[in-house]
Amino acid sequence: MTAFEVARRLVDEDAPQDENVLAKKIEASIQTFGCLEQKVEPVRIACSDQTPLLAYYVPVADHDVRGPAVICISREGETASTLLGRLLPAVISRGISVLVVSHEDVLSHWRGQSEILLSSCLDYLSVRPDVDHARIGLYGEGLSAALATDFAVSDRRVAAASCDGGLWNWTRTVASLGWITRTVDRLDETFLSSPRSRLIRQLRCPVLVLAGGRSIVSTTEAIKLQAECIAAHIDIEVATPRIARTTAGEIENFVTSDDSVFAWLQHKLTLNSAS
């Protein structure tokens, strides 16, 4: 799976046909994946519009014990199977179940009402006998990191979230304000700091913000947000991926990044159980 993901990232952006072939190979591997104790389950999430959402579910190895689970949302333009193929090595031995959905399905299924659809996913996990309903986390990539923030704010059942911390919406607001007033370069940092941390103050769960690399979040702004949140006693951490420079350009080390994200989720969801 890791080799497929490396190949997919090395494919020329102008060769979508080659990338589609790799995506199909990943999906075929997912369909046949299995080990002695765990298997991938294609599932359908019931929705109010009676059109089920297709997703992938990977249960914990011990079905007799209620364990933590994480809803994972792919980045834009990426299928659920492609994301799952990449994440399997990071989650398979952590005692965490994962439910993987695609960005496009979350956005289009409910005509923009993504929070309702994600709530249906959380409902699905909450009634599973192998999931502890008090230990359900959330992980979003790319623009889905912004969706994850909005959902974590709207649904207090989320126990931990790897998201954008509200920075995407804040960046768009600042850009719009600068365009309207033509004063973006002269906006005072004190003026900007309050709205930057406003959304994350509504969260009631620990937050991990991925910054830099393929993330939509600027490392500089993430560090500023972290400083503001620490001062306000908000549980937030910032992680940045390792970048390797090759003859093909800069490549994000997604293996170490995924490991660190799910190690953080595992830690926070375990603490939630202990409390």
CB 177 within 8 A of CB 160: no
Q: Per-residue pLDDT for 122 more than 60?
A: yes
pLDDT at 68: 95
Query: With helix as H, strand as E and coil as C, how does the chain read?
Result: CHHHHHHHHHCCCCCHHHHHHHHHHHHHHHHHCECCCCECEEEEECCCCCCCEEEEEECCCCCCCCEEEEEEECCCCCCHHHHHHHHHHHHCCCCCEEEEECHHHHHHHCCCCHHHHHHHHHHHHHCCCCEEEEEEEEEECCCHHHHHHHHHHHCCCEEEEEECCCHHHHHHHHHHHHHHHCCHHHCCHHHHHHHHHHCHHHCCCCEEEECCCCCCCCHHHHHHHHHHHHHCCCCEEEECCCEEEECCEEEECHHHHHHHHHHHHHHHHHHHHHC
- Residue-wise pLDDT tens digits, 85-120: 889 889 988 999 999 999 999 887 655 578 889 999
Mean pLDDT for 135-151 is: 95
- Residue-wise pLDDT tens digits, 252-264: 777 888 999 999 9
pLDDT at 26: 54
Q: Of 9-18, 217-226, 237-246, which range is least confident?
A: 9-18
Q: Per-residue pLDDT for 77 more than 50?
A: yes
- Residue-wise pLDDT tens digits, 14-61: 445 454 554 555 555 555 554 434 688 999 998 876 678 899 999 987
Q: Of 77-81, 138-142, 149-153, which range is least confident?
A: 77-81
pLDDT at 140: 95
pLDDT at 150: 93
Structural domains in the chain, sorted by start: 34-274 (3.40.50.1820)
Q: Which two structure tokens, joined as six digits, stand for 107? A: 């956005």
End-to-end Cα spacing for the chain = 36
Q: Which two structure tokens, joined as six digits, stand for 143? A: 């623009």
pTM for the whole thing? Answer: 0.83
Q: Per-residue pLDDT for 193 more than 90?
A: no
